[in-house]
Amino acid sequence: MNIRFQWKLMFSFILLFIFFLLIQGYLTYSLKKPFFFASLLSLFITSIIAFILLRFLTQPLDDLMDILKRLTLGHRRKELLIDSKDEFGFLAKAISEMDAQLRNKIEEISKEKGTLQTILKGMAEGVLVVDEKNHIIMINDTLRTLFSPSTEVVDKTPLELIRHTELEGAIHKAIQEGKNSSFELTLPTSLGKIFEVNVVGILPPPEEEQKEGHGMSGAIAVLHDISRLKELEKIRQDFVANVSHELRTPLTTIKGYTETLLDGALKEEVAPQFLQVIQKHTDRLAKIVEDLLTLSKIESKEFLLKKEKLYLSELIDDVLDFVKEGAKKKKISIDAVHISSSFIIEGDRNILEQILINLLDNAIKYGREGGKITISANQKDQKEIEVSVRDNGIGIPQEDLPRIFERFYRVDKGRSQELGGTGLGLSIVKHLISAHGGRVWAESQLGEGSTFYFTLPFHI
């Protein structure tokens, strides 16, 4: 106990004793009261004074106890009004400083936690965190949405959530050996999606890290969905393979016929036939290159549309005049129905003509001799007009419909090449429609024909 506080107590006892003697003497000698009665009354009065004095001395301690209880319960502290220079004053100041430091530290931790939660919530990657016992302590919203667990996953193992032994093994190695892992896997619960997974161990606190044989304090697994990248990579590989094939076929033919001519096949009845074949395949090469350049131009930032107000009926009439000779050769009739003269669209006239010519040309090429093609339009709402081109040709298998707008994709490669197609026409149509802010899709029944739809902005 501090000497200053001891002196206070000693002084208080002496003061109380003096009070007791004074009151007893006053009652006995001045008021002529009996000694016993004077002593009792003096004791009573002295006790009241002692209680008041004791409350004065212990009030700071009571205040400190009350403040400590409030801090223990997590309540905000009251202002410390103890300004004495004794132990209570020093203790009050220490408690005040400690409370301020704790409050600041809690606020810092809360801010860091809020920042971390915001980052995790905004991440496109799935994040899984486990402790040293391989129990899940947190997953972010992306991972929760991806696997849609029916129950709470905290305190469960990753295998219970994702059910993949390779991921479980990687997490185990990260915790036990501190070994980081990076690999690809297809998870059975993710509908065939492909993920790049990175697993790293969480370093233990410094005091635990110094202990011999102590492993990681947990692990973090980050799952990045690379399904789209894999799909694009496959499309790129297919594109390179298709371009190589499309260019190699006519080049091989041209090379063979040219070598034959150079070897002396210059007879009057043979040479013209060879030259016609060479010209045919040269034209095919030129068409492929032209279509590739067109696609490249459409996809470039420099591609601009020369938009103007156009009457849809006039546009279709001009296109029908252009394709009627091809239809006539196969005895195919083309009817334009429900094309209102009030349908006004906004777009690039030359490009829109190219779109319609491509679709009608396909319908003629793959249509039956003596068949029928119908082109129609209807206003879907105040924003767009839907145009359709329907034929009763050979149709397209359902499994091929999702891919017909890909570059160089053909349903029947042999028939397409025989008819002079490059495999780029529908891809060009899709890009040109998208440039106008529209959509394009197809419906078909094998053996019954196909219908191609596209939308264009309606000009009010």
At 12 the pLDDT is: 58
Residue 77 has pLDDT above 80, yes or no: no
In 216-270, which ranges are continuous DSSP H helix? 227-262
- pLDDT of 451 reads 94
Distance in angstroms between the alpha carbons of the first and the last residue of the chain: 93
Q: What does the pLDDT read at residue 440?
A: 94
The helix/strand/coil state of 440 is strand
- Tell me the residue length of the chain: 460
Task: State residue 260's pLDDT score.
Answer: 79
Q: Is the pLDDT of residue 214 over 70?
A: no
Burial 29-54 (b: 16+ CB within 10 A, else e): eeeebeeeebbeebeeebeeebeebe
Which residue carries 């590989």 as its tokens? 237
Q: Which range has the worst mean pLDDT, 138-142, 223-227, 355-359, 411-415?
A: 411-415
Q: Which residues make Cβ contacts (< 8 Å) with residue 356, sequence separation at least 6?
A: 315, 316, 319, 375, 387, 389
Average pLDDT for residues 432-448, to the nearest whole number?
90
Whether 202 shows a pLDDT value over 60: the answer reads yes
Q: Can you tell me the distance from the alpha carbon of 142 to that of 126, in angstroms, rounded to the nearest whole number?
A: 5
pLDDT (0 to 100) of residue 315: 93
**pLDDT one-digit tens code per residue, 245-276:** 777 878 888 888 888 777 766 666 677 777 88
pTM: 0.52
Tokens 């223990």 belong to 72
Provide the token pair at 220.
């973090």
The CA distance from 200 to 182, in Å, is 9
The model's pLDDT over 351-408, given as tens digits with 9 standing for 90+, comes to 999 999 999 998 998 888 889 999 999 987 778 899 999 999 888 888 888 888 887 7
Q: What is the pLDDT of residue 387?
A: 93
Query: SS3 for 264?
Result: coil
CA distance 264 to 294: 39
SS3 346: strand
Residue-wise pLDDT tens digits, 274-291: 788 888 888 878 877 887
Question: Residue 161: which of 195, 187, 180, 184 has the closest Cα?
Answer: 187
Domains of the chain by range and CATH?
Answer: 3-99 (no CATH), 123-225 (3.30.450.20), 231-299 (1.10.287.130), 307-457 (3.30.565.10)
For residue 367, give the nearest of 430, 445, 448 by alpha carbon. Answer: 448
3 state DSSP class of 397: coil
d(CA 206, CA 452): 67
| CA 74 – CA 320 distance, rounded (Å) | 82
Residue 189 reports pLDDT greater than 80: no
Question: Is there a contact between 158 and 136 (Cβ–Cβ < 8 Å)?
Answer: yes
Residues 6 or more apart whose CB falls under 8 angstroms from that of 278 comprise 253, 254, 257, 258
pLDDT of residue 139 exceeding 80: yes
pLDDT per position as a tens digit, 1-45: 444 555 555 555 566 556 555 655 555 555 555 555 555 555 556
3-state secondary structure of 201: strand
pLDDT at 8: 56
| pLDDT tens per residue across span 114-130 | 777 777 777 878 888 99
Separation in Å, CA 172 to CA 162, 188, 377: 15, 20, 62
Average pLDDT, the chain: 77
> Picking from 70-84, 347-361, 394-408, 444-458, which range would have the lowest pLDDT averaged per residue?
70-84
- Counting residues of the chain whose pLDDT is more than 70, the rounded percentage is 72
> 402 exposed, middle or buried (CB, 10 Å; 0-12, 13-18, 19+)?
exposed
pLDDT of residue 415: 47
Give DSSP secondary structure letters for 118-159: HHHHH-SSEEEEEETTS-EEEE-HHHHHHH--SS--TTS-HH
* Beta strands 126-131; 136-139: pairing state: antiparallel
Contact by Cβ (8 Å): 188, 164: yes
How does strand 333-337 pair with strand 372-379? parallel
How many Cα atoms within 13 Å fall on the side-chain side of residue 148? 3
Residues 6 or more apart in contact with residue 139 via CB below 8 angstroms: 126, 127, 128, 129, 153, 161
CB burial string 305-344: b at 16+ within 10 A, e below: eeeeebbbbebbeebbeebeeebeeeebebebeebeeebe
User: How far does Cα 183 stand from its chain's mean position?
Assistant: 20
What are residue 200's DSSP bridge partners?
Answer: 220
pLDDT at 355: 92
Looking up tokens 């492993």, which residue turns up?
215
